[in-house]
């Protein structure tokens, strides 16, 4: 069993978290929603069990946009960094990969939602690409 603990946090350092279990998968999502919330060509998201995740500092600084909506997102109220989103029922957390401190030893294994990727972005590398989601998701 992987006992490694990963840590990370927002740009200003007020919100900090730890992940004390294995990473399930890291994906690159090219949907328009991820593009907007990151301001980037795509979002690189680390998926893991929510039961292995916890905020260690600054939880009171988390602002939630549209809490019950399909485009709900959380960010740091001080610096605006995008923060992890989770589903407690499904025991799943999605953590923007750029938030991790050094030492994340896993890398993306797939691109998803490539049918809606930015027209100005060309996907490189040779990990699998899916126009939407893989069949087994
Ligand atoms: Zn911050
Ligand atoms: Zn997306």
For residue range 81-133, list pLDDT tens digits in order.
Answer: 999 999 999 999 999 999 999 878 899 999 999 999 999 999 999 999 999 99
Expressed in angstroms and rounded, the spacing between residue 136 Cα and the centre of ligand 1 is: 35
Q: Which ligand is nearest to the CA of 75?
A: 1
- Ligand 1 centroid to residue 44 C-alpha, Å: 19
Q: How far apart are CA 107 and CA 85, in angstroms?
A: 19
- Ligand 1 mean position to 95 CA, how many Å? 15
Domains defined for the chain, CATH in brackets: 6-116 (2.170.150.70)
Q: Closest-lying ligand to the alpha carbon of 76?
A: 1
Kindly state the DSSP code that residue 121 receives in the 8-state scheme. -
pTM (two decimals): 0.93
The per-residue b/e assignment along 1-29, b for 16 or more CB within 10 angstroms, e otherwise, is eeeeebbbbbeeebbbbbbbbebeebbbb
How far is the C-alpha of 117 from the C-alpha of 109, rounded, in Å? 17
- How large is the average pLDDT for residues 8-29? 96
Q: How far apart are the first and last CA of the chain?
A: 24
């Amino acid at each position: 069993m992987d006992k490694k603990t990963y840590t990370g946090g927002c740009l200003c350092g007020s919100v900090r978290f730890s992940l004390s279990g294995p990473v399930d998968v890291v994906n690159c999502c090219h949907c328009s929603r991820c593009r907007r919330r990151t301001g980037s060509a795509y979002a690189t998201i680390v998926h893991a069990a929510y039961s292995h995740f916890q905020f260690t500092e600054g939880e009171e600084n988390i602002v939630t946009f549209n809490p019950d909506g399909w485009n709900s997102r959380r960010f740091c109220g001080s610096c605006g960094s995008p923060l992890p989103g989770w589903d407690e029922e499904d025991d799943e957390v999605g953590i923007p990969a750029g938030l991790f401190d050094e030492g994340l030893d896993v890398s993306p294994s797939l691109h998803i939602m490539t049918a809606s990727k930015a027209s100005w972005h060309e996907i490189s590398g040779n990990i699998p690409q899916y126009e939407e989601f893989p069949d087994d998701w």
